[in-house]
């Protein structure tokens, strides 16, 4: 008699638990594995940055970031870092320690 009473309760509990698991699984699903849940991801199937709402950065953003990084370490943008550049404010050649070549005419 007691077995018959507990059987429906166990069945109801298992159904309730499985529904909660599906709800949690769907809310925290991350299809593109970028760390941003699909419910908050503007591009749920393309991995992207949290700073760009989960969408990939376009080329102009990448180039801008590269330029900013380069500009902070190379003031004249000649490819020679300022700490190794003998002429940090003049565009020069990496083969001349960052200074421009000077041609002497006699």
**pLDDT, tens digit, 9 for 90 and up, residues 46-80:** 888 877 778 887 755 665 666 666 566 888 888 88
How many domains does the chain fold into?
1
| pLDDT value of residue 86 | 92
- The answer on pLDDT for 83 being more than 80 is yes
Distances (CA, A) of 3 to 13, 14, 58: 15, 16, 63
15 pLDDT exceeds 70? no
The per-residue pLDDT for 79 is 81
Residue 40: predicted pLDDT: 80
The residue segments making up the domain with residue 8 are 2-57
Say if 91 falls within a structural domain.
no
Residue 72 lies in a domain: no
Q: List all residues 6 or more positions away from 106 whose beta carbon is below 8 Å from its beta carbon.
A: none
C-alpha to C-alpha distance for 86 and 28, rounded to whole angstroms: 54
The pTM assigned to this predicted structure is: 0.34
Q: Note whether residue 37 is domain-resident.
A: yes
Within-domain flag for 32 = yes
Please check whether residue 42 lies inside any domain of the structure: yes
pLDDT of residue 12: 59
- Tens-place pLDDT, residues 25-47: 556 788 888 888 888 888 889 88
Distance CA 31, CA 54 (A): 11
Residue 48 is assigned to a structural domain of this protein: yes
Mapping DSSP onto H, E and C, the string for 51-99 reads HHCCCCCCHHHHHHHHHHHHHHHCCCCCCCCCCCCCCCCCCCCHHHCCC
Residue 21 domain-assigned? yes
Taken in order 65, 70, 73, 75, is the CA torsion positive or negative? negative
Task: Kindly state whether residue 11 falls inside one of the protein's structural domains.
Answer: yes
Asked whether the beta carbons of 45 and 32 are under 8 A apart, the reply is yes
């Amino acid at each position: 008699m007691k077995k018959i009473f507990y059987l429906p309760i166990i069945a109801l509990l298992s159904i309730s638990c499985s529904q909660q698991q599906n709800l949690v699984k769907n809310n925290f699903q991350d299809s593109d594995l970028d760390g941003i849940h699909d419910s908050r991801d503007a591009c749920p199937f393309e991995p992207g940055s949290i700073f760009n709402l989960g969408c990939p950065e376009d080329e102009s953003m990448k180039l801008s970031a590269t330029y900013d990084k380069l500009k902070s370490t190379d003031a004249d943008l000649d490819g020679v870092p300022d700490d190794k550049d003998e002429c940090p404010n003049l565009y020069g050649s990496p083969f001349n320690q960052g200074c421009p070549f000077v041609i002497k005419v006699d």
